[in-house]
Amino acid sequence: MSMHPGTLLRRALDERCSLLVPGAGNALAARVIESMGFEAVYLSGAGLTNNFYGIPDLAFISLSDVAQHTAALRDAVALPLIVDADTGFGNALNVRQTVRTLERTGTNAIQLEDLVMPKKCGHFAGKAVVEAGEMIGKIKAPADARTHEDFLIIARTDARAIHGLDHALERAAAFAEAGADVTFVEAPTGVDELRRIAAELPCPQAVNIVIDGKTSALPAARSRKWASAWCSTPTPRCRAPCAA
């Protein structure tokens, strides 16, 4: 009997060895990612918004959109599937329903972020974050709602660009204590910050590499000691047509 995809993902992340996870905006992209030998795929909210609606990543997609595309990706590939659920589509009670819906459609890890709605892409300017306590409630909700022990919770903070790295690290540590399996400090601005994030936080980390974004691309070998997941945007060629 084959191992559950969530268990495969947890084991890969626990190795802390720079798992490279390309983003996909649709099922065809996920098939290409699987055919190229990658170990997991990331359903990107930005990629979904760009590919499905042809517009920028500014909180236009709904839970129904994400669930529909998650199911399509799950049918298309056998890889572990990480899904960007934005802010969880509401408060902690809504997040519980989001988790139950996405787990049923084949998600193995859900990413939640602490942005104020209407949210923006993490590498855009003009962001704001909710109070840490509100986000902690959203992290505890999926920890209670998930049915498989290897359904993973990825907690992202966008506080780096607003309040500085120290505050972002404090938030990420609190998210890990609340039950996040992976934390994700969005938009660090250099190698020293990446190294510090990995050193000061106890759980695996996600890093978002965006073309022309705040975090520059690094060779996988160089980041091997720092990051557990390295997520990239799937649709760089769509960014100019989709600009507001």
pLDDT one-digit tens code per residue, 43-91: 999 889 998 999 988 889 999 999 999 999 999 999 999 999 999 999 9
Cα-based distances in Å from 181 to 7, 11, 65, 66, 228: 13, 12, 25, 21, 11
User: Distance between CA atoms of 208 and 185, rounded to whole angstroms?
Assistant: 9
Residue predicted with more confidence, 242 or 167: 167
**Is residue 96's pLDDT more than 90?**
yes
- How do residues 156-210 score in pLDDT, each as one tens digit? 999 999 999 999 999 999 999 999 999 999 988 888 898 899 889 989 999 887 7
Beta strand 19-24 with 109-113 is unpaired
Strand arrangement of the beta sheet that strand 182-185 belongs to: 182-185, 152-157, 109-113, 81-84, 41-43, 19-24, 229-232, 206-209
pLDDT computed for residue 118 by the predictor: 77
**Cα-flanking dihedrals φ and ψ of residue 180, to 5°?**
-65, 135
Q: Whats the size of the chain, residue-wise?
A: 244
Task: Report the candidate in 69, 22, 24, 80 with the shortest Cα–Cα distance to residue 47.
Answer: 24
Spell out the domains of the chain, with CATH numbers in brackets.
5-242 (3.20.20.60)
Can you read off the two tokens belonging to residue 134?
């509100």
Residue 172 is encoded by which pair of tokens? 């990420």
Residue 235 tokens, joined: 């649709």
